[in-house]
Amino acid sequence: MGTVQIEWPDVVSLESPQAFILEDVAGNLLYGSFARDAEAGHIAIAGDDRITRRVATANIARMSQSEQRRLDRVHGSFSLGFDYTKSSDITVLSGSFNTNYRGPASSWSFNVDVNSTRDPEQGTIDRDSVRYGYRWLRPGGHFWAGLSSFERNEQTGIDARVLVGGGYGKYFLQTTSNEVAAFAGVGATREWATGDADDQTSLEAILGGDWRVFDFASPTTSLTARAVVYPSLTESGRYRTDTSVSLRREIISDFYLDLSFYHSYDSDPPDELAETSDFGVVTSLGYSFY
């Protein structure tokens, strides 16, 4: 069974003998079956402790059946993009694959992005990344996080970069249409430069935030923004930033048009001949699966 989008203002009452896991906007988890509530706009949840709790539908962030298979909670998408500028003869080929899971006690995401630019003067410049993040969800919207990534960005002089880290964060806003989270942590990084610079290992702080906006009315629309700062703890004065914004609009059922912007900055790249920043705009067509 896929994900069902609910327009809560149109729901008068809800009842079900099946057990559900419900998460409210404050990040609290409730477990139980749904009983009819006498007041419209509310749900009565009968728990195993024989206590019935009432929740306003406007305060529901998400819910899922407790018996639901893990695979049913996995959502994802993939997309392909191609851009060509005749005046400069520059060709850009891009692709992405994203999948995520959200359960009652944890969530994870796995993302792959590839971007290859062919320039008659500079040749082919690659920008690739593979990222995996895991969050242990705690009451009140708090979470512990583990993350790992592999990156390649020839524009900023990185032939390969591996990062493994962890931290602590909080969801400051969770509704059916908005989600805002921030996190802080520490990561160990290993870099291989494109030039003659030596490979190096460093320790970095990780400070970041996510913002997601949803509109589930057909055709669905979503906006996702992410910004992360990596101040180095072992290299004085060096810091990195990664920023991305993606606007997605459904064109027909499960197929969408995506417009994305990315920007990467390194105050002191390991290759002295490399650029300190890299940015671009990508247009792609994609497909979502549940």
Domain range list for the chain:
8-68, 71-289
Q: Identify the CA nearest to 100 among candidates 233, 249, 288, 244.
A: 288
Q: What CA–CA distance (Å, rounded) separates 208 from 241?
A: 9
Q: Identify the CA nearest to 208 among candidates 136, 128, 143, 140.
A: 143
pLDDT given for residue 185 in this prediction = 98
59 in Cβ contact with 24 (< 8 Å): yes
pLDDT given for residue 12 in this prediction = 67
Domain with residues 8-68, CATH architecture:
Roll (2.30)
DSSP state of 232: B
142 in Cβ contact with 159 (< 8 Å): no
DSSP state of 50: S
DSSP readout, 191-204? EEESSSPPPEEEEE
Distance of CA 92 to the CA centre of its chain: 24
pLDDT given for residue 26 in this prediction = 74
pLDDT given for residue 17 in this prediction = 78
pLDDT given for residue 219 in this prediction = 84
pLDDT given for residue 8 in this prediction = 62
What is 71-289's CATH topology? Outer membrane phospholipase (ompla); Chain C (2.40.230)
Tokens 């639901």 belong to which residue?
Answer: 68
Q: Identify the CA nearest to 221 among candidates 27, 1, 2, 5.
A: 5
Which residues in the chain show pLDDT less than 70? 1-10, 12-13, 48-50, 65-72
pLDDT given for residue 4 in this prediction = 58
pLDDT given for residue 190 in this prediction = 97
Question: Torsions phi, psi of 121, nearest 5?
Answer: -90, -40
